[in-house]
Structure 1
């Protein structure tokens, strides 16, 4: 019997465990496996195989039973999963009963419970941070100082960009560093027109082409991954059978699997991390099998927590012991606090009657981008920090659709081109505050017996002032560009609607004011690393996924070196 126990523990023991298979988890798996570690990747949701498990990827509009709509009876089962309430994407949605959560105030939590996570759902926008961003908290006095600067992470940005495939232009903006780019996807004529208007009227504002994780000119490293050039289908959210955009499923997970060192276990809901008080380190992970509800344990020398920001917080808070009664490594009492997100509430739309002889050819999987320009050189506004903006333009055909029978057919055959439509949307930085926090509700449990997550977060006056400025400034710029029928709106969407949750396990220099050090190690549990959105000290205005990738690759490199030195 004793031998059986020893053999069972040995069979469940790995060199490393990665919790989560999304953008950061996939990178952790790739790096650890490549560096020689037998790695267990735990995913709470179902398996998704690249190409095979994209059921709607090649369907035509008429192939959908309900022409794209989701029946009301089915819709009711999914509750808050509004982002995927289309037939083409319903396979990514999770039912409300899968993991309920408590909202002290309205909060939209979008999750990707399947292998690949939100790497199959993201908008694929990839911008580097600069020292301007890493120095933000120290400069403005909110949050705590980041323990790293741009030079610490710049080589890792280059490393992940080359592998993932990022298209873009060298724009020469110090506050938005250039990267390792494939050829950019071209702007259309209206976007170029707006770019020229901005350059003519402003010295501190720039419209550039978006930098995005789409392969425009496959390099040998992409061919080796089995990926091909982006086909400009703009059906990315269904899953790309060409691997034209970066996802864990098309890129990092198959690369890790090729090493023969990765074990992928779907349907594995992580309950908590096991802490050995005698050894002074984490020794493994408790998992609830999603199908059998059986509690299992797996063991490893290092653990990477990449469950997505809020779930990573939940796992650490639920990892209690005599040494850490309030959550793993939570001596500071800050675990779950200072969460933040991006502010997408400001929206602009308009029309443009120029270029009547032109239209776009095909579809564009990206858009142009307006880097932050407020409070850039000094604190000039009545709000802290700033906002970036996405901008796009397109043109379609219309018919009056009057009449029936032959008359309607005639109308449809003689469609006319409409004006160009333009739109812009803000991405503002929210300030991490102690009043924005997560907690575990000890009374309510989810279907796996894990305490329900309570989310307490709300907008503040800083957000409101930022929205007003965005709407005013872009109304002015749209007017200068000759756009008409300008509509400036505040969506009033709940926090979290941007799907960019960050913080709660923030990095910092001082263990008294942060949970992680400069290598994404827990200060008080050195063999546990957190490299997803939970680690972020502040949010800046850039899309965060590229930074998660770079931080993960950097932390994995450090972890393996420390492991070889027997420091972990």
Structure 2
């Protein structure tokens, strides 16, 4: 039953943003600060900054199960509990898999957070710019469709976003990894510095640098600094890292132009046949099960890659019988995720007299991509490339059997140093990697569930062999002993970098969005979450979502003022 419970005028805003995560929060901030009355719709519950970080200050022994996941939890959260950031302290920020079903045509781990702030509360906080090597890749090797933008188009917006959110990092002057606007870098420990120096001596095509992270290492815009607690996924009461809850949504609210409506499941984008553009969205109230229509001149879809795909596919009209903006039949296709879980680790002899002096650093080292960036680094067995993240640390305690004082003393003695690096590799855009609506299997709201059919193919598998071999080569060159490789081969989705289901492109026949993130056939609808990506590169993508969002908002308001929307 459809109930328009308020007059249409009262449900009309200048702009609607669907989703309140990393990109949705940025859309809210930018649109509100530019003077637009903006409605933000979030399908999950409200989470208030600091107040609702209920586990942020608790010690491990203050949890009933000492942070471990019980059998009952693993049964209710079989997918989410596989994530490194899921435990007894963070469970409240992840969806219950039993209550939020989807269908794995092929293995796919869909890791989700349905609340205000989305996954910006639990993200890994690594931020690396893309370069023209990434934006030009599709055109050069023929996989996917050409990006309609280049680095120069987005570079000023990287500057804008980084300056605002605060990024700690070290400039390196690499063409494949452009430098950003950095705060003071976090420090590598003694073993990492030693290995980095040896790598610099032995290789001319690869380096080790400190990770670039969305942590403020000094006071920044009345935030932080980061306390080096490394409990980030619980929510940060110090606002030491970037989240929508702590940074962009408060900025939007400060303008007086923000209306935030949690528990609002967006069902579809509404299309006005006469005007030839979107008129608003229809939502389902998660508590009352009533539908409500909201109207706006501008709509931003930021529901996450798969959430946005679901909304577009479910938005059927005479104009769009196969889903909103789906003239190209590309909506839901070209699904990508970084492939990772492959690398190496080894032991280090020495520096027994040194330990950490900076608490629990919420960051690691980074080895930027060094394959297929020039003729000299070109591979014959695969295209694109990968980077490494990792770090060195010391074991806790000497081997000891028993309890009491002896165990306590043994645990207070640092053990051996070791170091590991794991790889993040590019996943090519394949049309057959897709999501579709399954109308025969409904969720608890009676909505179609998603069938997810996605896999890694020959290019990714060939790359993984090099990932492991190169990791071993790097660690051995760095002085590590007893180096061993590994490849856990987690399925797509597990890296939580899903992208590509409504890609940007130059040609409406082969893409969903133009170079300003507008739906080709309805230019008052913008998609600036991971769905818009035309390729995946190998860098963590969130900073690119933020920059694209800020850029699209600027364009949207400009076009609105010109009367073009």
Place the TM-score, normalised by the shorter chain, in its bin: over 0.9
Q: 2:535 aligns with which of 499, 523, 538?
A: 538
Residue 370 of structure 1 corresponds to which residue in structure 2? 367
Q: Determine if the alignment matches structure 1 residue 116 to structure 2 residue 117.
A: yes
Question: 1:401·1:412 contact (CA, 8 Å) conserved in 2?
Answer: no
More off after superposition, 454-463 vs 394-403: 394-403
Question: 2:162·2:181 contact (CA, 8 Å) conserved in 1?
Answer: yes
Residue 165 of structure 1 corresponds to which residue in structure 2? 166
Give the direction of change, closer, same or farther, for the CA distance of 1:257–1:342 in structure 2 (3 Å limit).
same
Residues 292-344 of structure 1 show CA distances to partners (whole Å, capped at 9, x for unaligned) of 11111111111000000011011001001011000011111111111111011
Return the alpha-carbon distance in structure 2 between the equivalents of residues 401 and 208 of structure 1: 36
Q: Determine if the alignment matches structure 1 residue 178 to structure 2 residue 174.
A: no
Residue 300 of structure 1 corresponds to which residue in structure 2? 296
Residues 372-419 of structure 1 show CA distances to partners (whole Å, capped at 9, x for unaligned) of 001110332311111011021111431433234xxx412422443211
Q: Determine if the alignment matches structure 1 residue 74 to structure 2 residue 70.
A: no
Q: Determine if the alignment matches structure 1 residue 445 to structure 2 residue 442.
A: yes
Residue 526 of structure 1 corresponds to which residue in structure 2? 523
Residue 515 of structure 1 corresponds to which residue in structure 2? 512
Deviation at 1:215, TM superposition (A): 0.3
Q: Determine if the alignment matches structure 1 residue 284 to structure 2 residue 280.
A: yes
Specify the SS of the correspondent of 1:527: strand
Q: Determine if the alignment matches structure 1 residue 251 to structure 2 residue 247.
A: yes
Deviation at 1:7, TM superposition (A): 6.2
Question: 1:215·1:228 contact (CA, 8 Å) conserved in 2?
Answer: yes
Return the alpha-carbon distance in structure 2 between the equivalents of residues 478 and 74 of structure 1: 37
Q: Determine if the alignment matches structure 1 residue 387 to structure 2 residue 386.
A: yes
Return the alpha-carbon distance in structure 2 between the equivalents of residues 336 and 270 of structure 1: 17
Q: Determine if the alignment matches structure 1 residue 416 to structure 2 residue 416.
A: no
Question: 1:391·1:423 contact (CA, 8 Å) conserved in 2?
Answer: yes
Q: Mapping of 1:485-524 within 5 angstroms?
A: 485-524=482-521
Q: Determine if the alignment matches structure 1 residue 144 to structure 2 residue 145.
A: yes
Specify the SS of the correspondent of 1:193: helix
Return the alpha-carbon distance in structure 1 between the equivalents of residues 400 and 55 of structure 2: 29
Residue 215 of structure 2 corresponds to which residue in structure 1? 214
Give the direction of change, closer, same or farther, for the CA distance of 1:189–1:256 in structure 2 (3 Å limit).
same
Return the alpha-carbon distance in structure 1 between the equivalents of residues 521 and 496 of structure 2: 29
Deviation at 1:171, TM superposition (A): 0.9
Residues 94-113 of structure 1 show CA distances to partners (whole Å, capped at 9, x for unaligned) of 11233211110110000110
Return the alpha-carbon distance in structure 2 between the equivalents of residues 477 and 77 of structure 1: 40
Specify the SS of the correspondent of 2:366: strand
Residue 263 of structure 2 corresponds to which residue in structure 1? 267
Q: TM-score, normalised by structure 2?
A: 0.97
Residue 353 of structure 2 corresponds to which residue in structure 1? 357
Give the direction of change, closer, same or farther, for the CA distance of 1:566–1:410 in structure 2 (3 Å limit).
same
Residues 255-302 of structure 1 show CA distances to partners (whole Å, capped at 9, x for unaligned) of 000011100000011111101111100001110111111111111111
Question: 1:521·1:529 contact (CA, 8 Å) conserved in 2?
Answer: yes
Return the alpha-carbon distance in structure 1 between the equivalents of residues 407 and 144 of structure 2: 59
Question: 2:428·2:535 contact (CA, 8 Å) conserved in 1?
Answer: yes
Deviation at 1:351, TM superposition (A): 1.4
Specify the SS of the correspondent of 1:14: strand
Return the alpha-carbon distance in structure 1 between the equivalents of residues 19 and 252 of structure 2: 14
Return the alpha-carbon distance in structure 1 between the equivalents of residues 335 and 482 of structure 2: 38
Return the alpha-carbon distance in structure 2 between the equivalents of residues 476 and 374 of structure 1: 14
Question: 1:375·1:381 contact (CA, 8 Å) conserved in 2?
Answer: no
RMSD: 1.4
Matched residues, number: 557
Residue 332 of structure 1 corresponds to which residue in structure 2? 328
Q: TM-score, normalised by structure 1?
A: 0.96
Return the alpha-carbon distance in structure 2 between the equivalents of residues 274 and 411 of structure 1: 65
Give the direction of change, closer, same or farther, for the CA distance of 1:193–1:286 in structure 2 (3 Å limit).
same
Q: 2:554 aligns with which of 539, 549, 557?
A: 557
